Structure 1
């Protein structure tokens, strides 16, 4: 009998941009078995997709209610253990809530919920039921991001003085200038996306990354957002000033109208002794800067890297790893947690990251709305 974790998927069907990413990631390390799904609101589409990717249709269901009822009717050893939620934002909270209350573990795309209030409610449910909850801030799975985190924790760059994160995309630029065209994307519909587009979609990645690698919490922010058109309800660009402490400050820049940019996510942490820089589009290079010294480039798979970094490296040095591998490392961490195995702190983002992320999104909108003023994040 297979000892793989039985895994279910909500969303992520044939027209999903992220479905294949999650399926490939879950197949790494031979930890999961795709067992059942609701790929699409139309069960016929779900069944057809299941046949297309070669999985049994016995546990393909029309909706989540039917899926949960059918799984709970099975012997515990035969039930799906964890579900991935790969749907649009507005479905994350109700689906996660229902799954956690039914006793299942959850892996969820970000943002975790539509509101900070929902995030707090979900946190209480998870704490009560002691479920494993993973949030796919995918970039934390890169080996050199993990190396960056470990080096900062070890004090190798000294006390952190300044942080700088940039996440620039240009994909909305062809749509935003035409009122009819911009109505075609759910990202610009607050009923499906939430109160923020840019900060809610990619700005929150940069925010979470800064807290992840530094091990520090952002205490207060000042945001200046851009909607570009008066009739566009959602931010598509913005700059946020950050205070992590009295003498530790920084900036977060995020845009979906940075013309020609693809997925330009960069993080720089400046310490008293040295600095570290990482770029998502070249993820296998971590740059170490020191006063009076030549630039050093650290790469994955080498013995000089931390145990944490090496644990997320699958190939020998010189063999590039990418976004599938990063997501695979997050799935690997969740699998360890489900099995009760020892895992590194930071192997997968979780409920706290989701709660803090939603707080950041709402406070960014509040800061901008109230006249670009400093607001305090909840602790």
Structure 2
């Protein structure tokens, strides 16, 4: 039997909805075991949650610094092997840096940092450490997203001409929503969220999904970011025109003020031969449209033989039995565990390069919007900051 990869979690106490998803997902394939944590800056809260999770009190720490130091002192076969970071954005970089310096692999919520400068520093640390770094871009782990990527790689769509990706939410549609939860409070605070609100939070998901599925990269951005709700310090809505490699064009919109909407992330990819459409709220359906032919609906399932074998391994149930968000998260944890155990996998883990590109996208979008939606080169930004 394969040994479980030992995980320590930083963040995720009361008020965090995403940490619970992480913990459920990590358990799903029996490949990862939570053995330690610093769940809150309040040690009592950290102990309470640790007890509820069945952890011994001595492995529920008062600070992430204490946790990393104590775990490093344990025997090699007992200490944690990687850290899962589920804190607000401003803590991602210092925790990842400390974990890498302690010799631990890192799996972090996105965005990787709160600035492009920090992301480039982190990239250097990862390269020097030769440790694994992963970013939880969940939507790239849905089976049919992976199928779409493979179909485009195989040339089924021909040359990509245009992409349309949008991510509308409605949970911050009113001023009262800004402080209605712990999640809203830190996401609307520049000191914790970073230089962007909506585009850093969900626009980065749309950006990554576009590049992941198509295999193309965004070269230039013309963005218009704004605050629909008066009084906010960070964008809660925005749209961008994108110029991609190989001459393709794209549009990207993201908003958290579309009243009544949940998480309606969707992407359309238009090629010279065919087009694809996928929607996160109906994740087990991928629409393929060839010119002059009826639409084809591909569905997810372990028994769907038209799916690539690697995609079938990302499914857990037969077709018709829905899988979704937690299972996609579980794919990320399973893939990361396989990476740590040096097992062969046909599915690449979203790593530090994607983390840097995500921060470059955010910086380019903010810079463009500040310049009246003028075109900003992503490559030029990266070159200038790397020099």
TM-score normalised by the chain length of structure 1: 0.96
- Matched length: 377
Q: Secondary structure at the match of 1:320?
A: coil
- The equivalences for 1:116-127 within 5 A come to 116-127=116-127
Structure 1 residues 179 and 99: alpha-carbon distance in aligned structure 2, compared to 1, 3 A threshold: closer
Deviations along 1:226-265, one digit per CA (max 9) or x if unpaired, are: 1135642211100110000363101001100111111010
Contact 2:175 2:230 in 1 (8 A): no
Q: Which stretches of structure 1, 4 residues or longer, exceed 3 Å deviation after superposition? A: 178-184
Counterpart in 1 of 2:106?
Answer: 106
Please give the TM-score of this superposition, normalised by the length of structure 2.
0.94
Query: Which runs of structure 2 are paired with 1:151-170 in the superposition (5 Å)?
Result: 151-170=151-170
- 1:180–1:318: structure 2 CA closer, same or farther, 3 Å change rule? closer
* Aligned 8 A contact 2:6 2:33 in 1: yes
Equivalent residue number for residue 371 of structure 1: 372
Aligned pair in 2 of structure 1 residues 67, 166: CA closer, same or farther (>3 Å)? same
In the TM superposition, 1:52-67 aligns within 5 A as: 52-67=52-67
Distance in 2 (alpha carbons) for counterparts of 1:58 and 1:234: 40
Q: Which residue of 2 aligns with 1:136?
A: 136
For 1:246 and 1:20, how far apart are their aligned partners in 2?
Answer: 41
Instruction: Report the CA distance between 1:72 and its aligned residue.
Output: 1.2
Q: Against the structure 1 CA distance between its residues 230 and 259, is the aligned structure 2 distance closer, same or farther, given a 3 Å change threshold? A: closer
CA contact 1:175–1:182 (8 Å) conserved in 2: no
SS in 1 for 2:258: coil
Q: Quote the residue 2:357 is aligned against.
A: 356
Distance 1:15 1:375 in 2: 37
Where in structure 2 are the equivalents of 1:304-315 lying within 5 Å? Answer: 304-315=306-317
In structure 2, distance between residues paired with 1:257 and 1:137: 22
1:292 shift after superposition: 1.5
Task: Give the 5 Å matches for 1:1-379.
Answer: 3-175=3-175, 185-228=185-228, 231-245=231-245, 247-301=247-301, 302-346=304-348, 348-378=349-379
- Report Cα offsets for 1:84-108 as digits up to 9, x if no partner: 0000011000000110111100010
Partners of 2:11 and 2:178 in 1: how far apart? 28
How far apart in 1 are the matches of 2:98 and 2:210?
Answer: 31
Q: C-alpha distance in 2, partners of 1:102/1:50? A: 22
In structure 1, distance between residues paired with 2:284 and 2:260: 23
Q: CA deviation at 1:370?
A: 1.0
Tell me the SS of whatever aligns to 1:264: coil
Cα distance between partner residues in 1 of 2:32 and 2:164: 36
The range that moved more, 49-58 or 3-12, is 49-58
Q: CA deviation at 1:190?
A: 0.4
C-alpha separation between the residues in 1 aligned to 2:286 and 2:158? Answer: 17
- How far is 1:2 from its partner? 8.0
1:182/1:47 Cα in 2 relative to 1: closer, same or farther (>3 Å)?
A: closer
Displacement after TM superposition at 1:361 (Å): 0.4
**2: distance between equivalents of 1:153 and 1:353?**
18
Flag structure 1 segments of 5+ consecutive residues without an equivalent: none
Q: 1:325 to 1:229 in 2, by over 3 A?
A: closer
The answer to whether the Cα contact below 8 Å between 1:190 and 1:234 also exists between their aligned partners in 2 is yes
Contact 1:7-1:32 at 8 Å conserved across structures: yes
Gaps of 5+ in 2: 383-387
> What is the rounded CA distance, in whole Å, between the counterparts of 1:150 and 1:161 in structure 2?
17
| Distance in 1 between residues matched to 2:306 and 2:24, nearest whole Å | 29
C-alpha distance 179-329 of structure 1, shift in aligned 2 (>3 A): closer
SS at match of 1:199: helix
CA distance 1:16–1:231, change in 2 (3 Å): closer
Cα separation, 1, equivalents of 2:175 and 2:229? 12
Say if 1:37 and 1:179 are closer, same or farther in 2 by CA, change over 3 A: closer
Deviations 1:198-222 (A, max 9, x none): 1000000000000000111110010
Going from structure 1 to structure 2, the CA distance change for 1:71 and 1:179 (only over 3 Å counts) comes to: closer
RMSD: 1.7
